[in-house]
Amino acid sequence: MDCLICHDTTGTYSKKKNSCGMPNKDLDLTDIAKQVGLPGRGNCGECHWYGGGGDNAKHGDLGSDLLTPDASLDVHMGKLDFTCQKCHVTDAHKIAGSSTTSSVSEGRVSCTDCHDENPHDSSFPLLRKLNEHGMAMACQTCHIPQYAVNKFTLTYRDGSRISDKTEVVSQSPDKRELKTPMGQKILEKNLKPSYAWYNGKHHRYMKGDPVDPKGITPLNAPDGTIKDPSAKITPYKIIKTRQAIDARHGYLIVPHLAGKDGLISTHDWQVTAEKGMKAAGLKFSGEIAFADTMMYWRLNHGVVPKEKALSCLDCHGPEGVMDFKVLGYKGDPMATGWRFAPDK
Ligand code: HEC
Ligand code: HEC
Ligand code: HEC
Ligand code: HEC
Ligand code: HEC
Ligand code: HEC
């Protein structure tokens, strides 16, 4: 990456598409270079807010509303005005923080880098109970109860239904369905997380791995189960996608995607599959089918003010946010007990 993307403070530094990364010609680079400074949220956001085809589309917890957020959206970046690197501590340009999807990592970031493991005042019985819950759940689980509050995020894409143009199919305040050259898409707003056990690692679907042609194949499921003492219940955004598979070999097709002869321009699965599979070194039978896959995105941003954190009844009440059975409990653990006996 070039330096000015992260160090420009004027907000004017820019590039054109298909310019091989060169800056726009009409910029006064000398003037911009005279005003460099440490990165603000907008510098990091220039890339991280717009992945997946739009503002907030990919992660759901990283959108341009973090430029000047209300405290109610994010206490750290709103009320406390944290930069990204306040948490993503950077040393000689190694930016700490592990992603859910890429295998590169330049160090981990965790809530307990700054907060105590037992942050709630143990002299009060109810607050002590919150600390005890920390054995089984991540801080984010209670402190990030919502995502995509202001901005739509992508939750479904169907690659079998590709259109020439982008067109709105249906629209309501919290849901939009679109036809696009990248497939039929659903975008949603005001979402509640899904919960899963996570022990710090995710599995990976690798090129050529089998897919379940009738069910849903997870591409990066979190590792960990209720029986794993190092796993904690963690909040996720889940995106489902319908993708092309080789009907005979039973694995995902790698299409030739970009450029004039790529799938995005031609919308021709057959030709672009042949080309892409050859480059990927995978056998291609010529028979294309479609299968459902899902991808997990961990939620780490959007810590709400403490009054809005999930409390006892949000989970143990009749409208509880967690499906305890799906997580592996016999029922509500308030009645059935901790996953491990307290003396273990
Ligand atoms: C991906 C974003 C990014 C890019 C690209 C980047 N920097 Fe940085 N830079 C940072 C961050 C983050 C810090 C640390 C800021 C902090 O700790 O507050 C930093 C710090 C610095 C510092 C301050 C002192 C130091 O050594 O830590 C200098 C000087 C610097 N960068 C120069 C450069 C130059 C020159 C380039 C291009 C070769 C560059 N940066 C590219 C993000 C970036
Ligand atoms: C020019 C685009 C760009 C900018 C600006 C940028 N990033 Fe990134 N960042 C990326 C890409 C691309 C990846 C994925 C790297 C990969 O998959 O190997 C990434 C990955 C990350 C990760 C995940 C860890 C990893 O290595 O995959 C973190 C955390 C991160 N960036 C934080 C920041 C912060 C903080 C800033 C601002 C100081 C910043 N980024 C600026 C493009 C950018
Ligand atoms: C209050 C602390 C905090 C702030 C502020 C913060 N982050 Fe993060 N971020 C985290 C934590 C914690 C993780 C999880 C990292 C890990 O597991 O190592 C994370 C993860 C990420 C990831 C990886 C996402 C994924 O799951 O693939 C990216 C990218 C990222 N942050 C970018 C940013 C950007 C850009 C900003 C500023 C707009 C920012 N963060 C501000 C705490 C923070
Ligand atoms: C089971 C849910 C739950 C878990 C898990 C949880 N918290 Fe909390 N947290 C809360 C609630 C509810 C409050 C508000 C308590 C109150 O009314 O004072 C709170 C309050 C806080 C406060 C403000 C404390 C104060 O005295 O002002 C901080 C800081 C905090 N939590 C950080 C964390 C961190 C860090 C973790 C992980 C180590 C964590 N929490 C795990 C539910 C939880
Ligand atoms: C870089 C340090 C840092 C990191 C990392 C960090 N926090 Fe904080 N956090 C603070 C500071 C400083 C405050 C303000 C003082 C306080 O309340 O402790 C704060 C405040 C809070 C509060 C109280 C908010 C209120 O309403 O007053 C909560 C809750 C909280 N943090 C939770 C988290 C969670 C959850 C994470 C991980 C996703 C996290 N923090 C990561 C530094 C951090
Ligand atoms: C985010 C959801 C969530 C919140 C908020 C929450 N709980 Fe729980 N609670 C759980 C889960 C999950 C377990 C099981 C933990 C384990 O397996 O270790 C549990 C276990 C329990 C248990 C069983 C422990 C035992 O003694 O056998 C009790 C009691 C309980 N919670 C009470 C509370 C109270 C009181 C509060 C508020 C102070 C609260 N919970 C807040 C999800 C939650």
Give the type of residue at 69.
Answer: P
pLDDT digits over 30-40, tens only? 999 999 999 99
Confidence of residue 343 (pLDDT cuts 50, 70, 90): low
The distance from CA 293 to its chain's CA centroid, rounded to whole angstroms, is: 15
pTM of the model: 0.96
DSSP conformational letter for 222: B
Q: What was the pLDDT predicted at 152? A: 98
Q: What was the pLDDT predicted at 53? A: 87
How large is the average pLDDT for residues 193-222?
96
Confidence of residue 190 (pLDDT cuts 50, 70, 90): very high
Q: Which atom of ligand 3 is nearest to the CA of 45?
A: 35
pLDDT above 70 (res 79): yes
315 CA to centre of ligand 6 in angstroms: 8
Q: What was the pLDDT predicted at 63? A: 98
How large is the average pLDDT for residues 201-224?
96
pLDDT above 80 (res 344): no
DSSP conformational letter for 193: P
pLDDT digits over 145-189, tens only? 999 999 999 999 999 999 989 999 999 999 999 999 889 999 999
Binding pocket residue ranges, ligand 4, CB within 6 Å: 111-112, 115, 117, 119-121, 130, 133-134, 137, 139, 141-143, 306, 309-311
Q: Which atom of ligand 6 is nearest to the CA of 335?
A: 23
**Which ligand is nearest to the Cα of residue 73, counting in written order?**
5
**Which ligand is nearest to the Cα of residue 298, counting in written order?**
3
> Going by CA atoms, what residue is nearest to atom 23 of ligand 5?
306
* 3 state DSSP class of 252: strand
Tell me the C-alpha distance between 252 and 210, whole Å: 8
Q: Which atom of ligand 2 is nearest to the CA of 84?
A: 35
Q: Average pLDDT of the chain?
A: 95
